[in-house]
């Protein structure tokens, strides 16, 4: 009996062990199968490499001695993507069903874009190849440095964040991508915690997550990612971007040739509402005005003749660029005294150029970016960190030119304490960086022509009063970008009205909100064409306006179209000019008759 009992117990243990072993084997096959499926897309764990800090690529022995160039395109992926169909595939606009649209507004307020639609689009969706045709035939150096891609994020939506990482891993040569570093700026959304850690661990072995203990802002988050990066080159991307076909080699070749080089991709537009992927334009040189708004300068003739070649740019847009880790840290990284965001693109651009480096835009490298339709995140500091950032940059790098920035708002800058800038000044001294005058005369040599330090007087400014209905004046109606303007009861002081009625016909030949950056923009030539508020681009076109004191008419563009109005609906719009129509007559608070009389020679050059 005892022997039978022992035999039975032994049988149970052996059977249990076999069952447990089989279960583990089956589960391991299941997990491995899933990992292989996803890792095939997003990179194998065993391909992870460790790289020397500060960029071993740029140490001895010398690379690219024979200047061999190869075709880096992944034609297998290109052919596979060409066959794909579905929502958002090929970068086409997607649309929601009525039921799905019910959730759209709720998530829009949290993200500033159509997050419901984003979730319906594949993480590895296909994109259109909108590069210049010549880019498809270009070859690049066979030896290129490795890359750490740094992506800071705060409360980013799940699918847009992961699509950013997926696009990088899918469309990059795997041997060049050391890691993608997601830097969490203390997000509060639950799915960005354990759930994100688990997904990345299971599906994206080259992705690392760095978490900041408190909300610190974009600049600190980028620095945190850069400090743990192991590759030769740092690439910074925003958390709602998509890298396009063969985007990486064009960024890396200029850096491979000279490590003191920074390269920016062309930034395309991903529509915040329908996720359509389209070009923003075909290139311009980055610049700034004297309020530190980012601006652009036209390409030079030599750049237009070589549309596939990188061209020099004075200032980066800020969010998307590549720089060798070696040069980044030689420059001291970002100024750690800059808070949250703002001014960092100017600080880095100025010191790249002034301290012996160069900066390019690469037309054959294209990355899509979602420009939010709404800003969902408020000021985490509850104070004016932006002015402090700007003043720190100006005090360290701009020399006597800083006064042009300060004169735009003297009291604000005078009352702003920049803190300790001795470390930044020491870097400038150590690297023997050039004066800002050199930057303005050798790099941004045509900036002052388009954005003069001292603004020429306006053609006209103040309130714009209807002659036919003098109680009504043009008003912003407190609308912001992409909003319409209309009519409202006139302010008492027509020369110095409140801000929503204070306009200027500026020397740029545009009509803008006084002291602001929003211009009247007319993109249609239909009857009663709408006037929308858009950021002033200084390129005339849709934003070209002229006032004729004799006829009292405000003319838009070059096709004899004038500002018109409807007193009943209090709407303003543009129609063909009619000298007999009293509703097309307007009176300014102030008219500079001297400059108006010199319309053909005064102000910005008329663009034909």
In the predicted model, what is the mean pLDDT of the chain?
89
pLDDT tier for residue 25 given thresholds of 50, 70 and 90 = very low
Q: 466 and 341 in one domain?
A: no
Task: Give the pLDDT mean for 218-241.
Answer: 95
Q: Which residues contact 246 (CB under 8 A, 6 or more apart)?
A: 72, 73, 74, 135, 171, 364
Task: For residue 171, give every residue at least 6 positions away whose Cβ sits within 8 Å of its Cβ, in sequence order, or none.
Answer: 74, 77, 243, 244, 245, 246, 247, 248
Residue with tokens 């958002």: 88
End-to-end CA distance of the chain: 108
Task: Kindly state whether residues 217 and 347 are assigned to the same domain.
Answer: yes
Q: Output the CA angle 25-26-32, nearest 5 degrees.
A: 85
Per-residue pLDDT, 15: 45
User: Is 165 a member of any domain?
Assistant: yes
Least confident of 39-48, 119-128, 311-320, 465-474: 39-48
CB atoms within 10 A of CB 123: 22
> 145 and 283 share a domain?
yes
Distance in angstroms (rounded) separating the CA atoms of residues 473 and 200 = 57
> If you ran DSSP here, which 8-state letter would residue 529 be given?
B
Check if the beta carbon of residue 523 is closer than 8 Å to that of residue 482. no
Render pLDDT for 147-205 as a digit per residue (tens, 0 to 9): 999 999 999 999 999 999 999 999 999 999 999 999 999 999 999 999 999 999 999 99
Q: Which residue do the tokens 């997050």 mark?
A: 115
**3-state SS assignment for residue 482:** coil
Write the DSSP symbol of residue 436. Answer: H
Where is the domain boundary, 370, 388, 407?
370
Q: Residue 487 falls within a domain, yes or no?
A: yes
From 370, 386, 418, give the residue that closes a domain.
Answer: 370
Of how many residues is the chain composed? 608
Q: How many CA atoms lie within 13 A of 535 on its CB side?
A: 5
pLDDT tens digits, residue range 254-304?
Answer: 999 999 999 999 999 999 999 999 998 889 999 999 999 999 999 999 999
Q: How confident is the model at residue 76 (pLDDT cuts 50, 70, 90)?
A: very high
Task: Give the pLDDT score at 381.
Answer: 67
Whether residues 353 and 468 fall in one domain: no
* Strands 147-153 and 233-236, sheet pairing: parallel
Q: Is it true that the peptide bond before 61 is cis, omega within 30 degrees of 0?
A: yes
Output DSSP code: residue 439. Answer: I
Residue 437's φ and ψ, nearest 5 degrees, are -60, -40
Separation between Cα atoms, residue 116 and residue 113, nearest integer Å? 9
Distances (CA, A) of 258 to 70, 358, 599: 19, 9, 47
- The residue to which tokens 């060049």 are assigned: 176
pLDDT at 32: 33
Residue 22, in any domain of the structure:
no
Residue 506 sits in the same domain as residue 358: no
Domain-located, residue 404: no
466 vs 485: CA distance, rounded Å: 14
Question: How much is the pLDDT for 9?
Answer: 41
pLDDT of residue 42: 59
Residue with tokens 């303005």: 440
8 A C-beta contact, residue 606 and residue 459: no
The pLDDT score that the predictor gives to residue 378 is: 67
Domain boundary among 343, 370, 397: 370
The burial of 165, by beta-carbon neighbours within 10 Å (0-12 exposed, 13-18 middle, 19 or more buried), is given as buried
Peptide bond preceding 376 in cis form (omega within 30 of 0): no
- Are the C-beta atoms of residues 486 and 508 closer than 8 Å to each other? no
Q: pLDDT at residue 55 above 70?
A: no
Distance of CA 274 to the CA centre of its chain: 18
pLDDT above 50 for 395:
yes
* Opening angle at CA 358, ends 353 and 362, nearest 5: 135
Residues 578-603 pLDDT 10s: 999 999 999 999 999 999 999 989 98
3-state helix, strand and coil shares in percent for the chain, rounded to the nearest 5: 35, 20, 45
Q: Give bridge partners of residue 534 from the DSSP assignment.
A: 519
Joined tokens for residue 54:
């500060």
Q: Which residues pair with 207 in a beta bridge?
A: 180
Question: Is 399 inside a domain boundary?
Answer: no
Give SS3 for 406: helix
pLDDT at 44: 53
Largest CA distance in the chain: 122
Centroid of chain to Cα 74? 27
Specify whether the CB–CB gap between 415 and 400 falls below 8 A.
no
Per the structure, the complete domain to which residue 520 belongs is given by: 460-598
Q: Which two tokens stand for residue 53?
A: 């800090």
CATH code at 300?
Answer: 3.90.550.10
Q: How many folded domains does the chain comprise?
A: 2
Answer for the pair 146, 229: CB distance below 8 angstroms, yes or no.
no
Task: Give strand pairing partners of 484.
Answer: 532
Is residue 276 in some structural domain? Answer: yes
H-helix segments, 242-343: 248-257, 301-304, 325-330
Structural Rg of the chain based on CA atoms: 29
| CATH number (domain holding residue 592) | 2.80.10.50
- What percent of the chain clears pLDDT 70, i.e. is strictly above it? 90
Residue 356 and residue 351: Cα distance in Å, rounded? 8
Give domain status of residue 361, yes or no: yes
Domain assignment present for residue 570? The answer is yes
Residue 19 has pLDDT above 60, yes or no: no
What is the predicted pLDDT for the residue at 43? Answer: 55
Look up the pTM and report it.
Answer: 0.82
Q: State whether 497 and 359 are in the same domain.
A: no
Lowest-confidence pick of 58-72, 344-358, 552-566? 58-72
Is the model's pLDDT at 339 over the cut of 90? Answer: no
- pLDDT bin (cut points 50, 70, 90) of residue 41 is low
Q: Which of 209, 207, 201, 208 is nearest to 31 (CA)?
A: 201
Most confident of 49-58, 379-388, 545-554: 545-554
Q: SS3 for 449?
A: helix
Closest CA to 123 of 83, 82, 171: 171
* Exposed / middle / buried, residue 92 (Cβ in 10 Å: 0-12, 13-18, 19+): middle
Query: For residue 27, is pLDDT > 50?
Result: no
Distance CA 268, CA 439 (A): 28
Neighbours of 448 (CB within 10 A): 15
């Amino acid at each position: 009996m005892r022997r039978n009992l022992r035999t039975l117990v032994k049988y149970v243990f052996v059977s249990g062990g076999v069952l447990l072993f089989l279960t583990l084997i089956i589960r391991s096959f299941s997990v491995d199968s899933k990992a292989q499926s996803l890792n095939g897309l997003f990179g194998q764990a065993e391909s992870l490499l460790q790289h020397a800090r500060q960029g071993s690529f740029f140490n001895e022995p010398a690379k690219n001695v024979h200047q061999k160039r190869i075709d880096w395109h992944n034609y297998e992926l290109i052919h596979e993507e060409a066959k794909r169909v579905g929502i958002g595939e090929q970068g086409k606009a997607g649309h929601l069903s009525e039921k799905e649209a019910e959730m759209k507004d709720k998530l829009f307020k949290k993200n500033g874009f159509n997050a419901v639609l984003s979730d319906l689009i594949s993480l590895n969706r296909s994109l259109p190849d909108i590069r210049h045709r010549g880019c498809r035939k270009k070859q690049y150096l066979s030896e290129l440095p490795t890359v750490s891609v740094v992506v800071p994020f705060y409360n980013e939506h799940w699918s847009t964040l992961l699509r950013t990482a997926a696009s990088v891993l899918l469309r990059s040569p795997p041997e060049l991508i050391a890691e993608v570093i997601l830097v969490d700026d203390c997000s509060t959304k639950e799915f960005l915690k354990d759930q994100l850690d688990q997904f990345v661990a299971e599906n994206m072995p080259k992705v690392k997550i760095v978490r900041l203990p408190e909300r610190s802002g974009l600049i600190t988050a980028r620095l945190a990612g850069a400090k743990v990066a192991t590759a030769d080159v740092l690439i910074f991307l925003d958390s709602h971007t998509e890298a396009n076909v063969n985007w990486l080699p064009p960024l890396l070749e200029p850096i491979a040739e000279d490590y003191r080089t920074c390269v920016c991709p062309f930034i395309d537009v991903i529509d915040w509402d329908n996720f359509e992927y389209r070009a923003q334009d075909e290139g311009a040189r980055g610049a700034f005005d004297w309020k530190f708004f980012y601006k652009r300068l036209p390409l030079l003739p030599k750049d237009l003749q070589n549309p596939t070649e990188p061209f020099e740019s004075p200032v980066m847009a800020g969010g998307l660029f590549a720089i060798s880790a070696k040069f980044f840290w030689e420059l001291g990284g970002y100024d750690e005294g800059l808070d949250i965001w703002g001014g960092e693109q100017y600080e880095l651009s100025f010191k790249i150029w002034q301290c012996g480096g160069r900066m390019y835009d690469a037309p054959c490298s294209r990355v899509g970016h979602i420009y939010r339709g709404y800003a969902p995140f408020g000021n985490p500091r509850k104070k004016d960190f932006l002015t402090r950032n700007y003043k720190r940059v100006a005090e360290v790098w701009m020399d006597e030119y800083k006064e042009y920035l300060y004169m735009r708002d003297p009291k604000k800058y005078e009352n702003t304490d920049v803190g300790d800038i001795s470390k930044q000044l020491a870097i400038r001294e150590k690297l023997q960086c050039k004066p800002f005058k050199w930057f303005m005369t050798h790099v941004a040599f045509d900036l002052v022509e388009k954005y003069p330090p001292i603004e020429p007087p306006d053609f006209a400014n103040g309130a714009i009063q209807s002659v036919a209905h003098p109680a009504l004046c043009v008003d912003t109606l407190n609308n912001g970008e992409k909003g319409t303007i209309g009519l409202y009861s006139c302010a008492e002081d027509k020369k110095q009205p409140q801000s929503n009625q204070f306009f200027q016909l500026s020397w740029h030949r545009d009509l803008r909100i006084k002291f602001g950056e929003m211009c009247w923009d007319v993109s249609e030539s239909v009857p009663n064409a709408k006037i929308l508020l858009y950021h002033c681009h200084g390129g005339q076109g849709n934003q070209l306006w002229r006032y004729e004191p004799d006829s009292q008419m405000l003319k838009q563009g070059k096709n004899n179209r004038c500002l018109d109005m409807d007193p009943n609906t209090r709407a303003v719009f543009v129609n063909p000019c009619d000298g007999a129509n009293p509703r097309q007559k307007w009176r300014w608070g102030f008219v500079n008759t001297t400059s108006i009389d010199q319309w053909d020679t005064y102000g910005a050059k008329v663009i034909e």
